[in-house]
């Protein structure tokens, strides 16, 4: 067991979208930077999350389009799904991007250490690789970007076979006949959508009274109805009581409206949130405050331990890749002395890639009303949008939430085709603090779905045209 000491300005623990982006920015700023990753560069996002699920859902979208091709005058025979190939392509996409991250880091001059990191006194980081070899890194600053993992249910622990987390759901060997998804957040809804489209009988169990509980209520209702039309069964306000893994499936008892209900499925996907990866880092030896597995940080990711920072999922909700990247850059720029003072937190968009899609930024209508703001709500259905009708995707709507007094765009919610590709428009507007007047003044290209974004703004002031 040899020990080498390497010295760096910055050591980043975790190579996910928070960590590797922070490393690239640090290298741009001429910091001697090391990145420690225990599994795969790109983290969960790139290897087991955002990206591979989008590859799977793209296959599902292709299948859905082919099935509906007849309506557009294209006659096709019944499409066949090669499930193994669908999953393999998704894995290839991840591998390709994983190599891309390695290349970017190399090009930037970031030193990558593959192994687990543990904090030592005096800003040293010990890296232990898979063979037990240890190396010691001396750091000027340390950023913990260790991310989060799936929360486990005590009555239904993950077993890698019948009880899945997102990993098994991403790399299934065969299409299950039936699947119960516990949790109707973004992850649960995306997998439910994927498997149902490919032919699995899917039941979604959600403890909250509605699916996508973090979304605007109108979005939740619309998405649930759309997915129910695709054959998914929803049990909302339903609590999982027991789970029993059997030889050929899983037997579940859930309680809904005080009534016990028996469910049976070939597999179960548990998607009830995430917990922070704060263990094994040696945080106990530091002044870092960890609350329920999450590291408590200030505006720039600074912890209570001088020189130690944390970014991304490990610092709490919303656990989103783009938030982690943004925090990583801000943290590095703060370390480099470029930015200080209080940070203005930019609005963070959130996307759900189920079918139908949804995306949002800012406050829901309910949150805005709770905040005491006097609000104006605009809602525009895609039936009034020419492009949506032309592409046969007229189901959906866009909703805006404005502050009555100031015209501030408090929130925007999109449900329907390409919602996730549209939401950046509102995000940009909110970040640049556009008011309703600026949005009304903006010329949106015709014919596009984005015209509905304009109409939703006009609608908030009683001026929508195509309705």
Partner 1 sequence: MRREILVPKLGLTMSEGVLVEWLVQPGESFKVDQGLFVIESEKAANEIGAESDGVLLEITAQAGETLPCGAVLGYWDDGQSSERDPPSKIAPPEQVAQPGPEAGIVPRVPVTPLARRLAAQQGVDLAAVRGSGPRGRIRAWDVLAMVPPQAAQRHGAGDTANAATQTAAPVESMASPASGTLRAPSNLERVVAQRLTAAKQQVPHFYLSVEAEMSAVMALRAQLNAAQTRQRLTLNHFVLAAVGHALEAMPEVNRVWTDEGILSIGSSDVGMAVNTDRGLLVPVLRGVGQQSIGEVARQAGTLIARAQAGRLTSADMHGGAITVSNAGMHDVTYMTSIINPGQSMILGVGSIREVFRPDEQGQPVVRREMGMVLSADHRVLDGVAGLKFLKLVVQALSQPMGLLVA
- Interacting residues toward partner 1 by CB under 8 A: 107, 287, 289, 291, 296-299, 302-304, 315-318, 341-342, 344-345, 347-348, 362-363, 367-368, 370-373, 403, 405-408, 410-411, 432-435, 437-438
Choosing from 68, 103, 345, 446, the catalytic residue is 446
Query: Residue 341 CB, nearest distance to partner 1 (Å)?
Result: 6
| Residue whose C-alpha is closest to residue 198's, from 64, 17, 306 | 64
User: 119 near 111, Cβ under 8 Å?
Assistant: no
Cβ proximity to partner 1, 396 vs 411, nearer residue: 411
Cβ proximity to partner 1, 287 vs 463, nearer residue: 287
Cβ proximity to partner 1, 27 vs 35, nearer residue: 27
Query: Residue 49 CB, nearest distance to partner 1 (Å)?
Result: 20
Dihedral over Cα of 364, 370, 376, 381: its sign: positive
Query: Residue 56 CB, nearest distance to partner 1 (Å)?
Result: 28
Query: Residue 198 CB, nearest distance to partner 1 (Å)?
Result: 34
- Beta-bridged to residue 443, according to DSSP, are none
CA distance 60 to 68: 12
Cβ proximity to partner 1, 241 vs 289, nearer residue: 289
* 446 counts as catalytic: yes
CA distance 199 to 333: 48
Cβ proximity to partner 1, 407 vs 417, nearer residue: 407
CA distance 79 to 72: 16
| Residue whose C-alpha is closest to residue 392's, from 414, 415, 413, 416 | 416
Q: What are phi and psi of 325, to 5 degrees?
A: -60, -45
Dihedral over Cα of 165, 169, 170, 172: its sign: positive
CA distance 424 to 417: 14
User: 396 near 415, Cβ under 8 Å?
Assistant: yes
Cβ proximity to partner 1, 119 vs 172, nearer residue: 119
Provide the token pair at 184.
């109707």
The DSSP symbol for 109 reads T
| Residue whose C-alpha is closest to residue 254's, from 374, 132, 155, 389 | 155
Residue that the structure tokens 């040293």 belong to: 124
User: 41 near 112, Cβ under 8 Å?
Assistant: yes
Catalytically active residues, by annotation:
446
């Amino acid at each position: 067991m040899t020990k080498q000491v390497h010295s760096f300005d910055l050591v980043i623990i975790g190579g996910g979208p928070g960590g590797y982006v922070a490393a690239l920015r640090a290298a741009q700023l001429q910091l001697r930077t090391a990145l420690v990753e225990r599994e795969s560069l790109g983290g969960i996002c790139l290897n087991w999350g955002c990206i591979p699920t989008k590859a799977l859902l793209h296959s599902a979208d292709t299948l859905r389009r082919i099935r509906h091709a007849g309506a557009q005058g294209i006659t096709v025979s019944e499409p066949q799904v090669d499930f193994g190939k669908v999953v393999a392509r998704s894995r290839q996409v991840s591998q390709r991007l994983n190599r891309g991250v390695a290349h970017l880091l190399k090009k930037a001059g970031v030193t990558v250490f593959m192994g687990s990191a543990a904090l030592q006194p005096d800003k040293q980081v010990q890296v232990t690789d898979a063979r037990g070899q240890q190396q010691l890194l001396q750091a000027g600053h340390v950023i913990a970007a260790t991310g989060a993992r799936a929360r486990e249910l005590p009555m239904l622990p993950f077993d890698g076979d019948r009880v899945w987390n997102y990993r098994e759901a991403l790399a299934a060997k065969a299409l299950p006949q039936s699947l119960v998804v516990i949790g109707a957040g973004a992850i649960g809804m995306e997998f439910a959508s994927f498997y149902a489209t490919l032919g699995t009988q899917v039941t979604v169990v959600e403890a909250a009274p509605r699916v996508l509980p973090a979304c605007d209520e109108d979005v939740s209702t619309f998405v649930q109805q759309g997915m129910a039309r695709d054959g998914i069964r929803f049990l909302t306000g339903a609590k999982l009581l027991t789970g029993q893994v059997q030889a050929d499936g899983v037997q579940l008892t859930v309680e809904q409206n005080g009534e016990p209900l028996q469910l049976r499925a070939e597999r179960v996907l548990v998607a009830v949130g995430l917990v922070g990866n704060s263990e094994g880092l040696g945080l106990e030896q530091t002044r870092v405050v960890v609350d329920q597995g999450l590291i408590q940080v200030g505006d720039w990711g600074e912890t209570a331990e001088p020189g130690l920072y944390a970014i991304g999922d490990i610092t709490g909700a919303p656990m989103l890749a783009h938030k982690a990247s943004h925090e990583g850059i801000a943290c590095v720029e703060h370390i480099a002395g470029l930015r200080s003072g209080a940070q203005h937190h930019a609005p963070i968009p959130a996307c759900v890639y189920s079918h139908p899609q949804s995306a949002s930024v800012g406050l829901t209508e309910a949150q805005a009303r709770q905040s005491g703001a006097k609000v104006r709500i605009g809602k525009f259905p895609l039936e009034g949008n020419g492009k949506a009708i032309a592409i046969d995707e007229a189901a959906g709507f866009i909703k805006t939430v404005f502050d009555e007094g100031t015209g501030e765009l408090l929130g925007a919610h999109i449900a329907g085709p390409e919602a996730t590709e549209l939401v950046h428009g509102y995000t940009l507007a909110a970040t640049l603090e556009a008011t309703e007047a600026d949005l009304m003044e903006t010329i949106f290209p015709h014919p596009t779905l984005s015209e509905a974004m304009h109409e939703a703004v006009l609608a908030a002031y009683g001026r929508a045209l195509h309705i």
